[in-house]
A and B are shown apart, each in its own frame.
Chain A
Amino acid sequence: MKQTVRVTVNGRLYEEEVEPRQLLSYFLRETIGLTGTHIGCIIGECGACTVQVNGTLVKSCLMFAVQANGKEVTTIEGLAEGDALHPVQEAFINNYGFQCGYCTPGMIMAADSLLKKNPNPSEEEIREGLAGNLCMCTGYVQIVAAVKEAAGQVDNG
């Protein structure tokens, strides 16, 4: 039996009828059309589908859409303000923090979450903070450099 969910995504309220077994990742991509959130392994290991729910970093493939009922979700599409990219996005561009780009949305969401909690992380803290996000191109050096550059620029208020 379908359930009604009311979820605010990037500031906009969506009310949708969904099957309870629908994963939040598919809800975002297929039900409301926000394809910035990528689906990689779909068993919770790669982190490509990482989003923020009520400000907390989560893997959207390890959550049913019904569990997001009444909550606020931020996806990669919700970071930029108009044409102004988010500081973490700018830093990923400046440092070539991506190769194929598949892991990038999850990496950026994780980096943003890390910097909100810890505005000036050490390299070890950056690597630990991104441990749930895999880059199959192994472009970690540039990704860590990007997070270092963005450090101190993320509004943690």
Chain B
Amino acid sequence: MIPGAFDYHAPASLEEALSLLSANVDDAKVLAGGQSLLPLMKLRLAKPEVIIDIGGLAELNYIREDGDHIAIGALATYTDLAESELILDRCPLLAQAAVVVGDVQVRNRGTVGGGLAHADPAEDLPAAVLALDAEIKAAGPDGERWIPASEFFITMLTTSLMPEELLTEIRVPARDGYKSSYQKASRQAAGFAIVGVATCLKESADGTCEDIAIGVTGVGDVAYRAEQVEAALRGRKLDDSAIAGAAALVTGGVDPIEDVNATPTYRAHLARVYVERTIQAARAE
């Protein structure tokens, strides 16, 4: 359980981090909170020759209002997200997902940027980030670009970040007037999501669904938007039978994965149940 040896760099600026990354692009891993990377290194599933520790870059550690968006620096921790008044007020779905990531210790060290870039298929936050139509900023040697969350997660442990790029910010539109809920099924406290569903909706006074967005994690090899469920509910009265009928569409077009925790059939069942639960919980907010 000792990681392989590596050369360690702790750049003093984002610029320095980017040039180190470009210079070592085949051998380097970027270290932020380390809550995913260190276990992989100890199991020798990852053996980077160079570690670029961006953990000290204060310029990447913030949560702030940016017009009608909330801007979250890559180094904000899950605890920061869960406790931020701004997040709780303007897009609480992020806090609802962050507060059930791992345990206290992991939430204190684990970073939003690191978690998203790692793209574990059972990670909680991608469901919320997808449901909120977040954008992800990637900085590279040729400057910055914005990647919509819908184009960010490619497959298991794979994102659309280029090897020489760093994830620097997540930008989330404020969801004033929306209600939301994130819920996950896991085998034990602090467990990974077998299924996690993030739902964000807006309903009119008579209970008609004006808008709904549902992000699903843990089911397929990558988090996704349950677009068929959304389409079935948009403009409809949110009564129990409409919700149940729509929830059954959650795995449409998706192959649920099989692992030690759940069969594909059980995962699909859980996904349907959790879609219903999060819609009902959001409405009851």
A131, B39: Cβ atoms closer than 8 Å: no
- Knowing A44-B35, A63-B34, the reply to whether A110 touches B1 (Cβ < 8 A) is no
A119 at the interface (CB under 8 A from B): no
Tell me if B5 is interfacial: C-beta within 8 Å of chain A: yes
A132 to B190, CA, bound (A): 7
* Distance of B122 from chain A, by nearest CB (Å): 15
Q: Is B103 an interface residue (CB 8 A)?
A: yes
Residue among B2, B3, B8, B35 with the most chain A CB within 10 A? B8
Across the interface, name the chain A residue whose C-beta is closest to B32. Answer: A67
Chain A's nearest CB lies how many Å from the CB of B36?
A: 9
* Given A20-B51, A58-B105, A131-B189: A63 in contact with B8 (beta carbons within 8 A): no
Cross-chain contact B8 with A3 (CB below 8 angstroms): yes
Taking the closest CB of chain B, its distance from the CB of A3, in whole angstroms, is 6
Which residues on B sit within 8 Å (CB–CB) of A127? 189
- Cβ of B10 within 8 Å of any chain A Cβ, yes or no, is yes
Cα distance A97–B109 when bound, in Å? 27
Nearest to A132 among chain B residues (CB) is: B103
Chain B 107-118, CB within 8 Å of chain A: the 1/0 string?
011000000000
B105 touches A20 (CB 8 A): no
Interface 0/1 of B1-18, CB less than 8 Å to A = 111111110100000000
Most chain B CB within a 10 A radius of its CB, from A61, A127, A132 = A132
Contact of A44 with B53 in the complex, beta carbons under 8 Å: no
A123 to B78, CA, bound (A): 23
Q: Does B102 contact A (CB under 8 A)?
A: yes
- Asked whether, in the complex, the Cβ of B108 is within 8 Å of the Cβ of A20, the reply is no
Number of A-B pairs whose CB atoms are under 8 Å?
82
Specify which chain B residues have a CB less than 8 angstroms from the CB of A42 in the assembled complex: 1, 42
Q: Does any Cβ of B come within 8 Å of A113's Cβ?
A: yes
The reply to whether B105 and A50 contact each other, CB–CB distance below 8 Å, is yes
Q: A50-B105, A57-B105, A67-B53 are in contact. Are A21 and B1 (CB under 8 A)?
A: no
Which residues of B lie under 8 Å from residue A21 when comparing CB positions? 2-6, 41
Contact A66 B53 (CB under 8 A): yes
State whether the Cβ of A38 lies closer than 8 Å to any Cβ in chain B: no
Min CB–CB distance A42 → chain B (angstroms): 4
Task: Say what secondary structure dominates the interface of chain A.
Answer: mixed
A23 to B105, CA, bound (A): 16
| Cα–Cα, bound, A57→B35 (Å) | 13
Instruction: Tell me the chain A residues, 50-72 only, with Cβ under 8 Å from chain B.
Output: 50, 56-59, 61-64, 66-67, 69
B209 within 8 Å of A by Cβ? Answer: no
Across the interface, do A58 and B38 meet the contact criterion of CB distance under 8 Å?
no
Judge whether B39 and A66 touch: CB under 8 Å: no
- A43 CA to B38 CA, complexed, in Å: 8
Q: Which residue of A lies closest to B43 (CB)?
A: A43
Asked if A87 CB lies within 8 Å of chain B CBs, one says no
A50–B108 CA distance with the chains assembled, in angstroms: 12
Enumerate chain B residues within 8 angstroms of A61, measured Cβ to Cβ: 38
Task: Judge whether B190 and A131 touch: CB under 8 Å.
Answer: yes
A47 lies within 8 A of chain B by Cβ: yes
- Residue of A with least CB distance to B38: A62
Instruction: Flag whether B232 is at the interface (Cβ < 8 A).
Output: no
User: Is the C-beta of A17 less than 8 angstroms from some C-beta in chain B?
Assistant: no
Chain B residues whose CB sits within 8 angstroms of the CB of A20 once the complex forms: 5-8, 51
Q: Given A44-B106, A132-B103, are A66 and B35 also a contact pair (CB < 8 Å)? A: no
Residues from chain B with Cβ under 8 Å of A56 in the complex: 79, 108-109
List A1-37 residues whose CB lies under 8 Å from chain B. 1, 3, 19-21, 23
Measuring CB to CB, which residues of chain A are less than 8 angstroms from any residue of chain B? 1, 3, 19-21, 23, 42-44, 47, 50, 56-59, 61-64, 66-67, 69, 110, 113-114, 127-129, 131-132
- Nearest first, the 8 closest Cβ-Cβ pairs linking A and B are A132-B103, A20-B8, A42-B1, A131-B189, A132-B105, A131-B190, A21-B3, A131-B103
Q: A1-B7, A43-B1 are in contact. List 5 more A-B contacts (CB 8 A).
A: A20-B7, A57-B108, A67-B34, A67-B55, A131-B190
